Amino acid sequence: MAQIGFIGLGRMGLPMLRNLVAAGHAVRAFDIAEAARVEAREAGAAIVATGQEVAGEAEYLISMVPTGRHVLEIHTGPDGTLARLPDGALLIDCSTIAVAEARALHAAGRARGIAVLDAPVSGGVMGAQAGTLTFMVGGEGADLDRARPVLQAMGRNVFHAGTAGNGQAAKVCNNLLAGISMIAVSEAYTLGQRLGLDPATMRDIVSTSTGSCHALVNYPPVPGLVPNVPSSREYRNGFAADLMLKDLRLAEQAALETRSSLPLGTLATALYGLFCGGGSGDLDYSAVIRMIEGATSPAARA
Ligand code: NAD
């Protein structure tokens, strides 16, 4: 049993924490939101008043917060957790943030003598609940070996992506693909339905054909095809479109830094930007199909 500190008890953090408690770990936790703290207490964690207090006794400190700005605020600087972590502790940030921000966190850890892993996840809220997340980890292999039993309580696949920041590099590439393919799948389902094709029949056919992909088969944007995915519960409590937009912007930032070109990524960023700007950013990103459906005029359908 390990002493684990956990900061960020949102859609992902709370179910991850539940799995740590279920595996027998002692968890101290903090979130700025009162409702999240109440749920974490009910889940069996000890709640403390600040992030620094979480760090005070941690062997492992995990953070799962929205952006790199939050991560650097929480961990670095005079009031950051790095100033409070005991010697020998391991800091594991599971948030999705820029590669450059993750490398800044590793550098701050090195300056304090604290090992850091960037360990973003894939698998969404359902994967967090089921304990089947995929972790993509950047940092020293020996530190990952130390983290493995803790990560395995929350996930099924733990990959070493390479050196500091490489976990985030894998994550940004994954989400670039996920964001683009959800738009492509939305176009195909919308066109199919307007051609008179039943979406369930289309899913069956395409899932064994060359157009098959995760968004089409396992996470379809059309409600009712797969139980429990966000589209089947009015696009609630999934991977917020706002967060997908954030991740696509991280991909664009990474492309600028590496002189890469992302023509489809740039278009996808613009489309999610329009969708979120219209006030739907809190819905799961698969709700982008609503905008795709609206983009074809009734006259064009007739
Ligand atoms: P969320 O908004 O539901 O939860 C974030 C939590 O962090 C909130 O409870 C918020 O109050 C808390 N928080 C913010 N600032 C804080 C601070 N300074 N101190 C303590 N708590 C603070 O977000 P989420 O969906 O859980 O996503 C978290 C991270 O995981 C993001 O980086 C996201 O991109 C990534 N992610 C999310 C999913 C998903 O499906 N939701 C999937 C993979 C990765």
- Separation between Cα atoms, residue 66 and residue 95, nearest integer Å: 6
Name the E strands within the chain: 3-7, 26-30, 46-47, 60-63, 90-93, 115-118, 121-122, 133-138, 155-162
Mean pLDDT of each 10-residue bin along the chain, 302 residues long: 96 97 98 97 96 95 97 93 97 97 98 97 94 98 98 98 98 98 98 98 98 97 96 94 96 96 98 97 97 68 46
Query: Comparing C-alpha atoms, which of 112, 91, 258 is closest to residue 164?
Result: 91
Tokens read off for 206: 């395409």
CB of 239 within 6 A of ligand 1: the answer is yes
pLDDT of residue 295: 66
pLDDT of residue 213: 98
Catalytic residue among 28, 112, 171, 290: 171
Nearest C-alpha to atom 17 of ligand 1 is from which residue? 32
pLDDT of residue 159: 98
Q: Separation of 153 CA from ligand 1 center, angstroms?
A: 19
Give the residue ranges of DSSP H helices in 160-208: 166-194, 199-207
Residue 88: how many CB atoms within 10 A of its CB? 10
Residue among 6, 9, 11, 135 to mutate when testing ligand 1 (max atoms within 8 A of CB)? 11
Q: Separation of 33 CA from ligand 1 center, angstroms?
A: 11
Which ligand 1 atom is at minimum distance from the Cα of 238?
40
CB of 45 within 6 A of ligand 1: the answer is no
Tokens read off for 269: 């960023």
pLDDT of residue 301: 47
**Residue 171 annotated as catalytic:** yes
